Structure 1
Amino acid sequence: MILFENDSFMILCKAFGEYQTNCYLTIDKQTDEALIIDPGIGASTWVIETLESKKPLAILNTHGHFDHVWSNAELLSYFGKIPLLCPLEDAFMLTEDCFSTGLPQSTPSLLVGGKEGETIERKTANTENLGRENHYTLGNFIVEFSCYPGHTPGCSVIVLSSKLTNTDSTSAQNASSQSEIPPLSQQKVMFSGDFIFHRSIGRSDFPYSSHSAMKASLEKFMERKENLLILPGHGNTTSVAQEQANIPYWLARL
């Protein structure tokens, strides 16, 4: 199912597993290069068949929970040496079966937010990495990880754009000064993982989660200016502006 399309890329989505976790494929319309985002339980066959004539560039994980990373190992085995990007603080959830689910283990080749030589270790969510941003260029894609800990220690959103059409930030910011609700960007999208959902937020009562970190992350999210389409880890699409209107409700309950 195509959820989003502009002149540069398209985004496909299919939900998998008991928790109906959304797996996303972003495909560059000029080069046929693709990114795989959060391949969950049972996602491998769909990903492989859909990308049969495409060129996978990387696997991106918004966070480390098993239902978002289950197919990492199988896809890495099939596609060969494509990089796997995961937030540093969540990498231990990929390399060890810490929830005893039978997770096929995978090792990130790039620890988002990590320094050279940084080791993988168990962490519990706190605010030390809140607001951290890391940018990567993969083919024509510009990938930005923004860290919002709480649901997991390294829980992040991924903002995706193309270096060929990454021109609308200024116009969006100017429009926001003239209108209470800024227009929805047609050049950037946000994959929110389990941080923000349509009319809801991620749970922060799991092992390695934190209510206080989630609260701080939601407050930080309220500062975002650009109104982007949000593609969450579960359920339907929404937008930054729509969910900023709902966040005060959740803040009062954390």
Structure 2
Amino acid sequence: MEIGMMTLGALGTNCYLVYGEKKTGILIDPADSGDTIIQCIKAEGVDVKYIVLTHGHFDHIGALRQVKEFTGAQIAIHEKDAYRLPRADREAALFGMPCEAQPRADVLLHDGDGLKVDDLLFRVLFTPGHTEGSICLLGGKALFTGDTLFCGNVGRTDLPGGSLPWLETSLARLAALEGNYAVYPGHGDVTNLDAERRQNPAFMA
């Protein structure tokens, strides 16, 4: 599995291009700067089948329309966050940030769903807390955590749809995963699950 990481937009959101040996893959969280994302897709020669959104906040979906038009990929998001896509412009305006309304989802995700692309299988983990429809995506030894888990920190829960009790339950689920995984968060540095179990205050509470 190959993973290309781009940090995009004013809020420094991480976008991931993930693909297998046959150069077929997924794009996770097309945050902003659609031209940059498309240039990366072209440079790697990847056929993107799914655009997977870890949640529906505007800073993770700003280039969604442009990337979908270029790739023809299906948009996949948890059913509980799908309502956010066509109203991304209104949410962004509350923060004084630009973002257009985004296309509706093609695929509504649920806990335990699998996405098979090339020789890769990704499993959906429903991890509400940052939003009511946040997910993590588990593929091989990689865990894409969106704004649920960061290096040394966790996502905020004080925005509409957020819940600290839900987040605590979701973090307990991640902590209980067997083995170690590379953690690719929605913001900040790549880490690993063992390090977060040892050092992240949220896991040590």
What's the TM-score, normalizing by structure 1?
A: 0.73
Note if contact 2:27-2:52 (Cα within 8 Å) is conserved in structure 1.
yes
Shift of 1:251: 6.4
C-alpha separation between the residues in 1 aligned to 2:87 and 2:177?
34
Alignment-derived partner of residue 49 in structure 1? 39
Shift of 1:222: 2.2
Give the counterpart of 1:84 among 59, 75, 87. 75
Shift of 1:57: 1.4
Shift >2 Å, 4+ stretches: 100-104, 219-222, 249-253
Note if contact 2:58-2:92 (Cα within 8 Å) is conserved in structure 1.
no
C-alpha separation between the residues in 2 aligned to 1:210 and 1:103?
26
Alignment-derived partner of residue 104 in structure 1? 101
State the number of aligned residues: 197
1:165-204 to 2 correspondence within 5 Å? 188-204=141-157
C-alpha separation between the residues in 2 aligned to 1:252 and 1:199?
11
Shift of 1:155: 0.9
C-alpha separation between the residues in 2 aligned to 1:66 and 1:238?
24
The question of 1:232 aligning with 2:190 is answered: no
Note if contact 2:47-2:71 (Cα within 8 Å) is conserved in structure 1.
no
Shift of 1:10: 1.1
C-alpha separation between the residues in 2 aligned to 1:109 and 1:134?
15
C-alpha separation between the residues in 2 aligned to 1:91 and 1:243?
29
Structure with bigger helix share is 2
Q: Structure 2: any 5+ residue segments left out of the alignment?
A: 94-98
Note the alpha carbon deviations across 1:144-166, whole angstroms, 9 max, x for none: 110111000011111113xxxxx
1:102-251 to 2 correspondence within 5 Å? 102-113=99-110, 132-161=111-140, 188-247=141-200, 249-250=201-202
Q: Structure 1: any 5+ residue segments left out of the alignment?
A: 1-8, 114-131, 162-187
C-alpha separation between the residues in 1 aligned to 2:193 and 2:92?
34
Q: CA RMSD of the aligned region, Å?
A: 1.7
Shift of 1:190: 0.7
Note the alpha carbon deviations across 1:34-68, whole angstroms, 9 max, x for none: 211111021x1122112223312111111111111
C-alpha separation between the residues in 2 aligned to 1:142 and 1:252?
31
Note if contact 1:71-1:104 (Cα within 8 Å) is conserved in structure 2.
no
SS in 2 for 1:22: strand
Q: 1:92 to 1:244 in 2, by over 3 A?
A: same
Note the alpha carbon deviations across 1:9-40, whole angstroms, 9 max, x for none: 21111101111001111132x31112111110
Alignment-derived partner of residue 33 in structure 1? 24
C-alpha separation between the residues in 2 aligned to 1:154 and 1:204?
12
What's the TM-score, normalizing by structure 2?
A: 0.89
C-alpha separation between the residues in 2 aligned to 1:87 and 1:246?
29
* Structure (1 or 2) with the larger CA radius of gyration: 1
Shift of 1:193: 0.5
The question of 1:63 aligning with 2:55 is answered: yes
C-alpha separation between the residues in 2 aligned to 1:231 and 1:251?
17
Note if contact 2:25-2:117 (Cα within 8 Å) is conserved in structure 1.
no
Calculate percent identity across the aligned residue pairs: 25
SS in 2 for 1:89: coil
Q: Choose 203-212 or 95-104, whichever is displaced more.
A: 95-104
SS in 2 for 1:59: strand
C-alpha separation between the residues in 2 aligned to 1:214 and 1:32?
35
